[in-house]
Amino acid sequence: MRMGIAEALRKAIHDEMERDKSVFCIGEDIGIPGGYGGAFTVTLGLEKDFRERIIDTPISEAGIFGAACGAAIMGMRPIADVQYGDFLFCAMDQVVDQIAKLRYMSGGKLKVPVVMRAPVGVTGRGAQHSQNLESYFMSCPGIKIVAPATAYDAAGLLKSAVRDDDPVLMFEHKLLYGSKGIRAESGSIDASSDIPEDDYTVPIGRGIIRREGQDITVIGSLLMMHFSLQASQMLEGVGISCEVIDPRTLWPLDLELILGSVKKTGRVVIVEESPKQGGVGAEIGMQIAENIPDYLLAPVTRVAAPNTPAPFSPTLEKLYVPQPERIADTIKRLIEEY
Amino acid sequence: MAYEGIITRIGKEKLTEMLRRMLEIRGFEEKIRFLFLEGEMPGTIHQYIGMEACAVGVCSVLEKGDVIASTHRPHGHAIARGLSMDAMMGELYGRATGCCMGKGGSMHMGDLSKGMLPAIAIVGGNIPVVTGMALAFKLRNERRVAVSFFGDGASNEGAFHEGLNMAAVTKAPAVFVCENNLYGASTSIKRALKIENIADRALSYGIRGDIADGMNVLDVYEHAKEAVDRARSAEGPTLLELKTFRLCGHSRRDPNNYMSDEEKEEWKNKDPLPYFENILKNNEIFTGEEIADIKQSVERSVEKAIEFGKGSPEPDPADIRKGLYVTMEVPE
Ligand SMILES: Cc1ncc(C[n+]2csc(CCOP(=O)(O)OP(=O)(O)O)c2C)c(N)n1
Ligand SMILES: [Mg+2]
């Protein structure tokens, strides 16, 4: 059945809760009758089938992630979420110092199978509701990070995350959810997929080639994957053939796929919605530069937001987020120069 | 006659200003709600309809040098603190004339030069900051007060606990105003709290807790005055709980389906505006016609602000990289 990301995640969570009684959801406004089903409708209506296991909390992010950590250590499989990724900072100690490190500190004797869900994206709300937090957590050993750009991947990765014995942080994009009704987002992009009725998973740690090409590799996740595809389509007309890679998992990176593609094309542009400083592109780019320097025909190149917080003004916001045109221009320039 | 004492104490001039500010908040919010639903206004909004008495009652007792801090729901606080509706409208439209030059938007409304920190949209986030502002006043022996506005929901954040306790032990001249509107987004306070009065939490910090009727601006004024006076006289912080209600959705197009019709009806009958207007009429401060005149004048100011906002120039593209560091440009 055709589903958007919000709907596909809802089905995946439902399936997992049905399959495994140790799975439960914990978060703010996730199962209030007459409410929203979380900030973007992902858990809408799940409380009807699983009242006990949809835990609506006070506004207490440190509490939510700390409780998820404790429950996981004791054998449960919590799915904890924040309404906006930005609020992960309120829970940072629990996520970074507890969830990510307890297993290591125990000498590998315990495990913390928590799933954490966080919406990201610069979407008309100003600096404190817009951050793309991937790079903060990519610098934190102990957590796996997934970032699905399609409904198929979202559901498949959610299931893998729940079944994984390590902590998994899933970033979801506000403009890709396909949330409906009062929670619909303006400027949304269709990320829906045909979701099989039967159980399936998408493996953590495996990227995917979204479009094959010869001249240059373009790497982007979430919204930037869609914008990279759009840029590639624009460039088709001028005879530039782009290979678009969607990493899907940001930690661990699918280096085999990424390096394989760059070996073939010799050029790479990494696109990210967050500031360039210390970003996702810095890590991916350095992996390429370190591992296959001899294959590079052009400098490893990044398209990113400026090194500032997100501005509110829609005019400035549009300049802040890499648009397909900006991505295409960068690619074109790179091909012309090298 | 009811309220005669306090009415005399406050005086007609201040009462006029209080009524006008409350009407401005209501007029402003109703207008932008419409613009937002029409799709003309960008972003998201959290509105203050029904809670006007809280911001106006508290801000009416403040002096020029005092500072307030607000939340994701800041329009009411901003108007009550005396920000111009023009600059606010400019901000809502994301224009260069906005009170934050278009960088902040609805959730970060504020202007420190007017005594209002740009609003902090992280629930509970402003509480320790207010403790720090108050501490600065204390360390410099200034008779200024810092006021934090936050919701019932915010009182469950760790920042609330740390901010209040620290204000208590440092005896910071702060007032913590909890606008208890019975909901944090869709979550009823009954699901999030096992006590009835948030003011009771003051006990655990060893500070003063107090409760006022947040639908009655005169009651808010009286209780706020005591709390602010105490803070100013170095008698320590107060946790002041205002019992109030949103007569609008939590955000955007929220239809409040998680509230019962009876509850909505019950609170609609306590609407702070007609309530205050009646007190003023009964005490012969204003006639009905005079109030109608004020309403008309407020409506014109709101219309003018919309024109100003809409007609204002867009920020310059180069503005993206301005205003981040004091001492350097944004590095590429
Ligand atoms: C740390 C944090 N968590 C969650 C949110 C999302 N959120 C925005 S407003 C809100 C409800 C706040 O309730 P309350 O403090 O009672 O204030 P009210 O909205 O009722 O004025 C929530 C959960 C947020 N902005 N910040
Ligand atoms: Mg509230």
pLDDT digits (tens, 9 = 90+) for A258-317: 999 999 999 999 999 999 999 999 999 999 999 999 999 999 999 999 999 999 999 999
Q: Per the structure block, which two tokens stand in for B218?
A: 């005169």
Taking alpha carbons only, the member of B33, B34, B120, B115 closest to residue B82 is B115
Position B27 in a domain: yes
Among A28, A57, A59, most B C-beta atoms within 10 A, so best to mutate, is A59
CA distance A255 to A219: 12
| Under-70 pLDDT residues of chain B | 1
- For chain A, give the percent of residues with pLDDT over 90: 97
Record: contact A312-B257, CB cut-off 8 A: no
Nearest CA to ligand 1 atom 12: B184
State in Å: Cα A261 to ligand 1 middle. 44
Nearest CA to ligand 1 atom 17: B151
State in Å: Cα A27 to ligand 1 middle. 13
Terminal Cα distance for chain B, rounded: 68
Nearest CA to ligand 1 atom 5: B123
Task: Quick: pLDDT tens for A133-176.
Answer: 999 999 999 999 999 999 999 999 999 999 999 999 999 999 99
Record: contact B319-A309, CB cut-off 8 A: no
- Assess whether the previous peptide bond of A252 is cis (omega < 30° from 0): yes
pLDDT at site A256 = 98
Ligand nearest to the CA of B121: 1
State in Å: Cα B148 to ligand 1 middle. 15
Residues 2-41 of chain B whose Cβ lies under 8 A from any Cβ of chain A: 39
Task: Quick: pLDDT tens for A168-200.
Answer: 999 999 999 998 887 888 889 999 999 999 999
Of the partner residues A36, A58, A309, the one whose CB lies closest to the CB of residue B156 = A58
pLDDT at site B253 = 86
pLDDT at site B329 = 97
The answer, yes or no, to whether residue A233 has pLDDT greater than 80, is yes
Position B265 in a domain: yes
pLDDT at site B40 = 87
pLDDT at site A71 = 98
Among B73, B183, B195, B320, most A C-beta atoms within 10 A, so best to mutate, is B320
Of the partner residues B94, B154, B330, the one whose CB lies closest to the CB of residue A307 = B330
Positive or negative torsion for Cα A285, A288, A291, A292: negative
Of the partner residues A57, A125, A127, the one whose CB lies closest to the CB of residue B44 = A125
Q: How far is CA B5 from CA B55, B286, B287, in A?
A: 22, 17, 19
pLDDT (average), residues A93-114 = 98
pLDDT at site B252 = 80
Task: Quick: pLDDT tens for B37-69.
Answer: 888 888 899 999 999 999 999 999 999 999 999
pLDDT at site A83 = 98
pLDDT at site A296 = 98
Record: contact A186-B102, CB cut-off 8 A: no
- Phi, psi for residue A117 in degrees, rounded to 5: -120, 135
pLDDT at site B1 = 63
- Ligand 1 atom at shortest distance from the alpha carbon of B51: 21
Q: Per the structure block, which two tokens stand in for A111?
A: 């495990």
State in Å: Cα B248 to ligand 1 middle. 15
pTM: 0.97
Terminal Cα distance for chain A, rounded: 45
Q: Does B95 touch chain A (CB under 8 A)?
A: yes
Rg of chain B taking only CA atoms, in angstroms: 19
Q: Does B257 touch chain A (CB under 8 A)?
A: yes
Number of domains in chain B: 1
- Phi, psi for residue B266 in degrees, rounded to 5: -55, -45
pLDDT at site B180 = 98
Pairing relation of β-strands A242-246 and A208-211? antiparallel
- Ligand 1 atom at shortest distance from the alpha carbon of A90: 1
Position B223 in a domain: yes
Of the partner residues B42, B154, B320, the one whose CB lies closest to the CB of residue A59 = B154
Position B332 in a domain: no
Among B186, B195, B251, B322, most A C-beta atoms within 10 A, so best to mutate, is B186
Domain of B142, CATH number, reads 3.40.50.970
Contacts of B175 (CB under 8 A, 6+ apart): B58, B145, B146, B147, B148, B224, B227, B228, B231, B237, B238, B240
SS3 of residue A271 by DSSP: strand
Task: Quick: pLDDT tens for B76-95.
Answer: 999 999 999 999 999 999 99
Residue A153 CB–ligand 1 contact under 6 Å = no
Answer yes or no: A129 catalytic.
yes
The answer, yes or no, to whether residue A74 has pLDDT greater than 80, is yes
Q: How many Å lie between the alpha carbon of B198 and the closest alpha carbon of chain A? A: 14
Position B25 in a domain: yes
pLDDT at site A182 = 78
The domains of chain A, with CATH numbers, are: 2-194 (3.40.50.970), 208-337 (3.40.50.920)
Interface of A with B (CB under 8 A): 28-29, 32-36, 56-63, 86-87, 89-90, 124-129, 182, 186, 276-277, 306-309, 311-316, 319-320
Query: Quick one: closest CA in B to A304, which residue?
Result: B332
Domain of B254 in residue numbering reads as 4-319
Position B328 in a domain: no
Taking alpha carbons only, the member of B38, B96, B116, B100 closest to residue B309 is B96
Position B326 in a domain: no
